[in-house]
Structure 1
Amino acid sequence: MEQAPGSPQEPREARGGNGSPDGGAVAPGCYRHPDRSTGITCTRCERPICPECMVSASVGFHCPECVRGGSGTGHAPGANRPRTVAGGTLTADPRLLTKILIGVNVAVFVAAMVVGDRFVNALDLVGWAFDPGALHVVGVAHGEWYRLVTAMFLHQQVMHIGFNMLSLWWLGPPLEAALGRVRFLALYFLAGLGGSALSYLLAAQNQPSLGASGAIFGLLGATAVLLRRLNYDMKPVLILLGLNLAFTFLWPNIAWQAHVGGLVMGAGVTYAMVHAPRGRRTLVQAGACVVALLVIVAVVWFRTSQLTG
């Protein structure tokens, strides 16, 4: 991709990492997190840094120590405020939103176990209305749009929520650190809504759909895009993605539509976030999120018109 004048250059690879002159040397670990291999170095001190530590600069990326040490450059206070690779503000706890999302999912799961089917029926993408002598489907097509969101947090089986929350704990913190909290939260909800919308569009009208899997697949797609942007080794995430897609289509009773919708939405939104030009980064990122939301609304409106027209 061509760069506009003044935009940040592509991050440099660490010496001895992938693409270095000596070939297949293993990438070094981040100097603050030695267990995290990385191909990126600080453009000032050339120490290896991971996505959580890298601070976007006018040229490449800086480590936190170099940013703090460069406060006396004559800029106004806050002008050189540390930023993530996507332009977000660095935070002391890059796992905060991930932990909150896991807490919300677990709380909803416990409520579903305590209250029972009435609770699930009210929050699932598809519900059932019990009239005297009749049983009929209710849901988004009947004006209950909130189900597109509530279904993202609803689980019924321990294995289902366990797998999803383990994936969220593994994928969430690196993305939250690399994107920043606001962008990460936008990614999570847009991916989840994208999964709900595609399931609503393509699945049978009476097919239930619930779980955080759409959002999780969105985070998986986002991880692939971020690793590609940082020139990291893509093989592990591609293998994981392939296994999850195979599981999606081969295992019975899985709403593959939610997985695919979340994956596509998550990858698309993240691509816009990490490739936005630095001078117009916030505008491009906000615009991409608005467009993604409008696409979701259009899909839901189209399906609703089919079912009620």
Structure 2
Amino acid sequence: MQTLLLSSEDVDENAQMPEVIGAVEDAFAAYERGDAQMPAKSYIDLPEYNGDFRSMPAYLAAETWDAAGIKWVNVHPDNPDDHGLPTVMGTMIYSDPETAFPLAIMDGTELTMKRTGAAAAVATDHLAVEDATSLGIVGAGVQSYTQLDAISSVRDIEKVVVSDVDDGAIQRFVDRYDDQFDVRGGSISEAGHCDVLSTVTPVESPIVSADDLGDHTHVNAMGADAEGKHELADEVLLAAKLVIDDYKQCTHSGEINVPWNEGLLDDDDLYGEIGEIVTGHREGRTADDGVTVFDSTGLAIQDVATAHVVYEHADDNDNGTPFDLLGLGN
């Protein structure tokens, strides 16, 4: 039995976005039902290298499939300048739950981008207005691309407004999509007055105020993944219908972590978790809703669900590089 080695290009080719969105939704549902195991993310701090490692294991049993894996990811801010390497790199080991055989080793960086976009799409599908046709994006980095790719799979997006402090990043985004959408650069407020807004920045001081949003905008707050990060003004979070992906992670390192630790937000301000909505235990958007917010920290079950889609497609289409990792000779 062979293990598949899947590069970033292989992951991109085989992560069919509609299927990834469905698998990530299945993962949220499995987690809500108690059919998933997801130990807390563990950290190895490396101050001597100004970096850290993070391990993210998970197992989930969806209704028609199950999967297991672990993502090993780093954050080394000095890498680009000192070593010509990305700040963040990830590797995913995808295993057969029945035998523990390592079915695939794949690039975790591309995988992360795909599953992050898919999570925003799941939330958008349940929390945005049905007739949403415009998408705003704050932050024109690598994550912005999969936000559009995924969200346009669940809503008929026509207009896109992207905002960033880097004009070059905006232009690269516009160039990538100007033959598919009515896409342009704009202010945070112009982006925020779209039907859907995704924020994908690493800021620690809020950049989106209540005045920057439309009356019924759905916001995917995707940028906060560490303690101290904070994109949306507290007034936005306090007034919105606020949905999180995981209580423990969000209160520690999600969009709500700063006001939560300052005592400005508490349990009464949370509408619920996304898993409760996808399973029907709580309603998604209703006619009475104004601004809705999804606080996404990124969960290991999403990585495993996406790896499942990637592996199945790659295996069916003879993609990737098979190799005898365990020396079994077959």
Answer yes or no: same fold by TM over 0.5.
Answer: no
Larger fraction in helix: 1
Q: Which has the larger radius of gyration?
A: 1
Larger fraction in strand: 2
Calculate the TM-score normalised by the size of structure 2: 0.28
Calculate the TM-score normalised by the size of structure 1: 0.29
The higher relative CO (CA closer than 8 Å, separation ≥ 6) is in 2
